[in-house]
Structure 1
């Protein structure tokens, strides 16, 4: 099927051009119908159509597309962004709020898989399902939260392959760095030192991945930090779940997975995202340097994250998990403020390019 607008040859049966987003079934007098239906995608670089975006981060706006019907083609186009051929120029990036939806589908798929594994263990007593139960249970919510950050990455310059790579390599690398710090501290372990050690380990890992000048936006740091945090959280949950299983208690196994999954969005994923974004905020177009960790903008966010982590781990009888839920809400308030800063950064960058087109970008 050849597109009349751009001459791109598409496979048979598609309703929209895979190159320019042209609607093949648009008639001359059906503009009203066209406005009432949802575009698969206007083009590769426009993740959300103009009329599907909002400037203000209201929950009814940001999550308004979660319960709408979406085609497989739309999901496929989401997964191709971030490559050398599909990364938009900064001038083409929208500085308004995206409306993510794919993360909800990912969570639904993971939930169905987890329930199937749960049936295999609980009702059919098949121990071969236990490893899958632990793995899926540990990764489901962190990966779901990560996909949300990936959809919110307005520059669309990081491919899903890179994110998967950061989750596994970054997750295990940050845990190993944390173990080195713990070994140095030895017996001086308390909620404050735990917060410093684990958040610093994640920051060091994020710096390794953002040292390339290609990933320099605040939203990039938010995403890569969330990827490292997701790997850290998933591996940690899997370890605690295994400990619960070795204690001989299946109810303890299930409760460990469910509780940690429920709290996962406000823990390592959000904290890693915040420190990653803070580092990219101070890095800008410069090359990564160690002294950037001492910049006031980064230090403020890092101290805030460490304090939240320390309060999270502080054993206060009678408030668990209420205290963690409050901290989770606070974490996401700061996350949305950081997203706003990231979108403002893009708007300012576009303004400078429009007014000073010959200004060097790196």
Structure 2
């Protein structure tokens, strides 16, 4: 019995000694309510559809890149209907997401509803400028600047003096593209007619095809498109329209979707921007005080030419030189590209060599 008591006493003393040294080791005690150093931050993205080489796929590419390089776990979820946005965001939050990316104005109302419910969750909104929300950072791309270049290229290249643009929803991001595109054509070819139409969808490939077919039938020989998955329908229409009919792509370029028809693309390298913003967030920076605005100067948008050498040869060298000149003039702000309808009405720039 005495022997047993001695054993117990020795064990207690040893435990006290171990505890004392542990307390003096200089390492803080772990609090289960705080994230540990090796815990990955879960970043979520919702979209109506992935896999169509649209803007959402580029965002997802940025998340996957961050997952490879940073302490991040990428999460994505397809939303059945726009009415399901709020619940889809709640689902990702319930799965541990603390940073959510929302790409389109279709999702705006649902995002703001959930942002108020979860003030500690951060949201990155990519469709327009939003101010007054402590947990919502917004980015406004100057797609009108790259669209201006696409419109100018179409205006310089057209053989029919008619070009077109297929758009998605009637929202700011689409109006910016439309107004920039029209301004570009006007600047280099005052006689050019610009046809524009909205599909009222980012996902209806058939509608994109239908609208573009009408434009080609009306004489358009270049049709730009900025309508998500609808773009794929536009490219098919260009192929069906035959010789002398071309398209301008978007997203990541989409050149592989129609390598003989997509002459150039209005590109937003959003994957790089997403990677950078997440990296800043991990470093403790999430600034909602001043919305970001990214244009040609900031390398937020650009006009990317086709990698198809034969198709590229159809663009004359003097046209490329004009395009380079226009690009520099936009960057230097010698040309202020209109983004609104009123600015387009007031726009009177005429390019001279």
More helix by share: 1
TM-score by length of structure 1 reads 0.25
TM-score by length of structure 2 reads 0.26
More strand by share: 2
